Amino acid sequence: MKKTLDEASRRKWCVWVLCAGCVANLQANTSLQKHAAVFMAQQTAALQRDISQDATPAAVPKHNTTRPWVVLPAEATAYVLCYHQFDVPNNRYSISAAKLAEHIDWLRSNGWEIVPLETLVDFLEGRTDIPLKSVVITIDDGYASVYRRAWPVLRKKRVPWTFFVYTDFIGVGSAACTWAHLQELVKHGVNVQNHSKSHAFLNIRGERTEQQYIEFLYAELLQSKQELERRLGTKVWAYAYPYGAWSTQVRDLAVSLGYRALLTVDPQPAKATTSPTALGRVVITSDLQDKLAEILCERTLEVEVVEPLPHQILRQPVVLVRCRVISPSALQSVRIHVGVHKVVSLHYDSQTCELSAVVHVVHSTSQRITIEAEDLSTGRKVANSWQVEWRLPQVQEFSSRQPPTANQ
């Protein structure tokens, strides 16, 4: 018998694992927590045994299967990194200038090419090509530590970068850049672009009337653009939403005002089909500063995803990931990450190239599932990834999430 459970019963079993017992009581009851942990471990082990038996050639998904599947081809991947401050102690949005230098060296020695934001936008508009592994460096807000600490590093290493500043902040207090700083940066070829007038949430109308809201949006999108262009003598064509917050109304207005690129803080990489007006960025905070290698995924591995499919909405915290590596097929050290966390319960069959893993999350989240390995023929790291959405019932969200507290 090749399978101990068919697909449907395995799915039912997952649901039963999660619904057994009232998870809402877990927070207050340590004894119950211990029982739940043991229970989950037992179920996961059983599920793994099942997966292990399941990973036979007959279980490999074929193109003529009726089961839905999606091929993630190898393709150019571009990440936009977003930094804020440098050498400011006890600040989650600050890293050291030495760490920035380390990032640049690591990127370059691992085959990533740092390209200007405009090159990426040209690529997304179909005007040019970019290297298969591209990174864009952006820095937000307009802090003086960028001018004093980061710029010397970026200048010395000849790194193209974009500075997104909000105009109400410039020249105000010792923590901010002055207009003279920005003029000097522009003179040396730094791309200074718009990060709003007041760093407000553009998507929140609040108590404003419709007319007041439109006037507010014009000030944040247009008045700030005109001030930057007037003071710096440059063309402003890119906008980084404060906090990454936007709405279709905000986006449409920004496009009508002449912006070619609109940037959020959703961490997904750009590919050829990405719109330059919905460009994600990875915010590098102090807790992520040593995880660059885990964050940047090369889409150099061709993968056939069986489940869960890209952007599938999942209602249960434990799911079975199944996919098949198409090329290159000779791999070693196959591993899987959810976000930056490595999944340990993995089975990879090198004969069939099928990978199965039990993935476990504890609260609603958007996560990228990343398959990584070493290509045996070249010795190089290869990877691919896709995003899935966990939307768990409220009662199961017993793990707290920290609300955003600082500028993004």
Applying CB under 5 A, which residues contact Zn ion?
140-141, 407
Toward Zn ion, which CB reaches closer, 54 or 140?
Answer: 140
Q: What is the signed CA dihedral for 31, 35, 36, 38, rounded to 10 degrees? A: 140
Q: Helical H runs in 55-191?
A: 97-109, 117-124, 144-145, 151-156, 179-187
Q: State the minimum distance, in angstroms, from the CB of residue 88 to Zn ion.
A: 14
Contact between 244 and 164 under an 8 Å Cβ cutoff? The reply is no
Residue 39 or 201 with smaller CB distance to Zn ion: 201
- Residue 207 phi, psi (nearest 5): -85, 0
Q: CB neighbours (10 Å) of residue 401?
A: 9
Smallest separation (angstroms) from Zn ion to the CB of 36: 40
Nearest to 23 by CA among 401, 403, 399: 399
Which is nearer to Zn ion, 183 or 407 (by Cβ)?
407
Residue found by looking up tokens 């793990």 in the block:
399
Write the DSSP string, 220-241. IIIIHHHHHHHHH-S---EEE-
* Backbone torsion region of residue 14, taken as left when φ is above 0, otherwise alpha when ψ lies between -120 and 50, otherwise beta: alpha
Residue 403: CB minimum distance to Zn ion, A: 16
Handedness of CA 215, 218, 220, 224 (dihedral sign): negative
The tokens for 399 are 């793990």
Least distance (Å) from Zn ion to the CB of residue 141? Answer: 4
Looking at beta carbons only, is 85 or 367 nearer to Zn ion? 85
Nearer to Zn ion by Cβ, of 141 and 302: the residue is: 141
**Least CB distance to Zn ion at residue 285 (A):** 13
Least Å distance, CB 375 to Zn ion, is 39
Q: How far is the CB of 82 from Zn ion (least distance, A)?
A: 9
CB of 270 to Zn ion, least distance (A): 20
Specify whether the CB–CB gap between 112 and 383 falls below 8 A. Answer: no
- Our CB check for Zn ion shows the closer of 258 and 404 to be 404
Q: In the complex with Zn ion, which residue's Cβ is closer, 143 or 216?
A: 143
Q: Which amino acid is at 274?
A: T
Measured from the CB atom, the residue of 140 and 307 that comes closer to Zn ion is 140
Backbone angles phi, psi at 370, to 5 degrees: -120, 130
Per-residue CA distances from 342 to 39, 287, 334, 345 (Å): 22, 16, 11, 9
